[in-house]
């Protein structure tokens, strides 16, 4: 994505985030809506984008005192 277009999209998203937070929108709904909007704009710009979340590796649970593994 060209740098100029990326900066324009970021500026639009910053404005949208500020307006929604001031209006009292639920942050989870706001994030989902912004992700859809960003995906649509990036797709129109010709970027190959995915809305799948980045996988988070499981956190190992330390053994309790006295437990053997």
- 34 and 17 in contact (C-beta within 8 Å)? yes
Q: What length is written for the chain? A: 69
Please name which of 53, 32, 44, 33 lies closest in space to residue 8, comparing C-alpha atoms.
44
pLDDT tens digit sequence for 30-60: 778 877 887 787 777 676 666 566 666 777 7
CA distances from 11 to 21, 45, 56, 65 (A): 16, 16, 29, 51
CA distance 28 to 57: 22
What's the predicted TM-score (pTM) here?
0.39
Predicted pLDDT at 55: 66
Q: Where in the chain are the domains? A: 3-44
């Amino acid at each position: 994505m060209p740098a100029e277009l990326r900066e324009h999209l970021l500026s639009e998203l910053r404005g949208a985030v500020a307006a929604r937070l001031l209006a009292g929108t639920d942050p989870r709904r706001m994030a989902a809506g912004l992700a859809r909007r960003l995906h649509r704009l990036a797709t129109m710009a010709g970027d190959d984008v995915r809305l799948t979340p980045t996988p988070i590796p499981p956190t190992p649970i330390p053994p309790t005192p006295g437990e053997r593994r």
